[in-house]
């Protein structure tokens, strides 16, 4: 089987993981990496035995590259993703995808115009327990859906200096809520603030409301001394709890508690495998560019809500 030629732009903490996984997958061949930091580019390329670039425009001329993962700083994701899409490559852009919704819309449009596959790095969707929750909600296995709460807290990873906790961290849960509820929220109210970060918010509490009175609550911060990543979904008959770190899932009703078992799997591996499969089989990815655009626009509305101290209606 011919392998898909892949490149990674931005090989810091996360891009190196993309490069490693592409090396491990049977359907992909890591061809090149690019980082604007020449020393880093050389070191990572050496580690994986591929060609190093410091300028992505040069790298994109390489016809062996069919797929590009964009893992640069959050504020340069859109520029790099746009270049790759315009060069006719299939693109996975990391979250938050772009700085503005206008940039994100441009990416979605460019992918369509160039007839290439485009996805956004919402990793949580590749955790089997979350798929179980979505299916249980869809089939009303916990009765009527009432609300969901997410907690994603840890210490500030100080390498993140160009966005705050909403666009970096809470955006995962914004996407999760859209996925679990199977619809878009109609309004957002948020309170965010900055305790230790020099420039951006490092804590946020976000409430999303959906039609028919359902609601979701997201707590994110970079202040908690330990890492917690939990989701609780409440239905009229039972609740479901997922620990994203251990991938354990609990379903608790008045008379019965069950714990469906899924073997732990690396979400990034599942995500990149699925994207490669979609390219090969010409299928739509689980996370579309439109999903990325919607999550980003809700994150931006949450920041606006906090600044204006009022709920913001979403279209």
Ligand X SMILES: NC(=O)c1ccc[n+]([C@@H]2O[C@H](COP(=O)([O-])OP(=O)(O)OC[C@H]3O[C@@H](n4cnc5c(N)ncnc54)[C@H](O)[C@@H]3O)[C@@H](O)[C@H]2O)c1
Interface residue list for ligand X (CB under 6 A): 9-15, 34-37, 40, 56, 71-74, 76-77, 80, 94-95, 121, 123, 159, 168
Query: With respect to ligand X, which residue has the nearer C-beta, 12 or 193?
Result: 12
Nearer to ligand X, 110 or 169 (CB): 169
Q: Nearest approach, Cβ of 168 to ligand X (angstroms)?
A: 5
Cβ of 45: how many Cβ atoms within 10 Å?
A: 20
C-beta of 185: minimal distance to ligand X in Å?
A: 21
Q: How far is the CB of 135 from ligand X (least distance, A)?
A: 23
**Judged by CB, which is closer to ligand X: 142, or 165?**
165
Name the residue with the smallest CB distance to ligand X.
12
Secondary structure (DSSP) of 108-136: HHHHHHTT--EEE--GGGGSHHHHHHHHH
Closer CB to ligand X, 170 or 238, in the complex: 170
The alpha carbon torsion through 171, 105, 37, 69 (nearest 10 deg) reads 80
We find the least distance from the C-beta atom of residue 121 to ligand X, in angstroms, to be 4
Nearest Cα to Cα of residue 72 among 102, 101, 40, 100: 40
In sequence order, the 6+-apart residues with CB closer than 8 A to the CB of 131 are 125
168, 169, 8: which is closest to 99 by C-alpha? 168
d(CA 210, CA 180): 12
Distance CA 116, CA 278 (A): 11
> Residue 213: which residues within 8 A CB-CB, separation 6 or more?
none
Between the alpha carbon of residue 20 and those of residues 7, 31, 230, the distances in Å are 11, 12, 27
Which secondary-structure segment (H or E) carries 229? strand 223-235
Give whichever of 37 and 144 is closer to ligand X, judged by the CB atom.
37
Q: What would the two tokens of residue 108 be?
A: 């979605």
- Looking at the Cβ atoms of 81 and 240, the one nearer to ligand X is 81
- Tell the smallest beta-carbon distance from residue 39 to ligand X (Å): 10
Contact 223, 202 (CB under 8 A): yes
CB of 160 to ligand X, least distance (A): 6
| Residue 186 vs 268, nearer CB to ligand X | 268
Q: Say if strands 145-155 and 223-235 run parallel, antiparallel, or are unpaired.
A: antiparallel
Q: CB of residue 112 vs ligand X: minimum separation in angstroms? A: 23
Shortest reach from residue 245's CB to ligand X, in Å: 12
Q: Could you give the CA distance from residue 147 to residue 241 in angstroms, rounded to a whole number?
A: 12
Looking only at Cα atoms, what is the longest distance across the chain? Answer: 62
Closest to ligand X by CB, 57 or 283: 57
Residue 21 or 145: the one with the smaller Cβ distance to ligand X is 21
What minimum distance in Å lies between the beta carbon of 241 and ligand X? 21
């Amino acid at each position: 089987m011919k392998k898909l030629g892949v490149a990674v732009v931005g090989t810091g903490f996360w891009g190196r993981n993309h490069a490693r996984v592409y090396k491990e997958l049977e359907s992909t061949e890591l061809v090149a990496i690019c980082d604007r930091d020449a020393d880093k580019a050389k070191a990572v390329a050496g580690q994986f035995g591929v060609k190093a670039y410091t300028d992505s425009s040069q790298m994109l001329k390489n016809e062996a590259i069919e797929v590009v993962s964009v893992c640069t700083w959050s504020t340069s994701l859109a520029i790099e993703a746009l270049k790759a899409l315009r060069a006719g490559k299939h693109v996975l852009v990391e979250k938050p995808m772009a700085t503005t919704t206008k940039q994100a819309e441009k990416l979605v449009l460019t992918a369509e115009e160039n007839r290439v596959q485009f996805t956004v790095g919402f990793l949580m969707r590749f955790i089997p327990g979350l798929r179980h929750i979505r299916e249980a909600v869809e089939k009303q296995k916990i009765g009527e859906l009432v609300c969901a709460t997410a907690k994603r807290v840890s210490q500030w990873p100080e390498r993140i200096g160009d966005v705050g906790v909403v666009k970096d961290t809470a955006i995962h849960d914004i996407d999760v809520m859209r996925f679990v509820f199977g619809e878009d929220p109609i309004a957002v109210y948020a309170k965010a603030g900055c305790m230790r970060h020099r420039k951006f918010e490092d804590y946020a509490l976000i409430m999303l409301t959906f039609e028919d009175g359902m609601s979701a609550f997201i707590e994110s911060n970079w202040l908690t001394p330990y890492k917690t990543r939990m989701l609780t979904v409440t239905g009229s008959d039972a609740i479901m709890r997922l620990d994203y770190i251990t991938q354990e899932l609990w379903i608790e009703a008045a008379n019965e508690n069950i714990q469906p078992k899924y073997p732990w799997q690396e979400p990034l591996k599942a995500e990149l495998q699925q994207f490669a499969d979609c390219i090969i089989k010409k299928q739509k990815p689980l996370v579309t560019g439109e999903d990325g655009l919607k999550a980003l626009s809700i994150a931006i509305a949450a920041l606006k809500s906090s600044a204006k101290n009022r709920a913001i209606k979403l279209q």
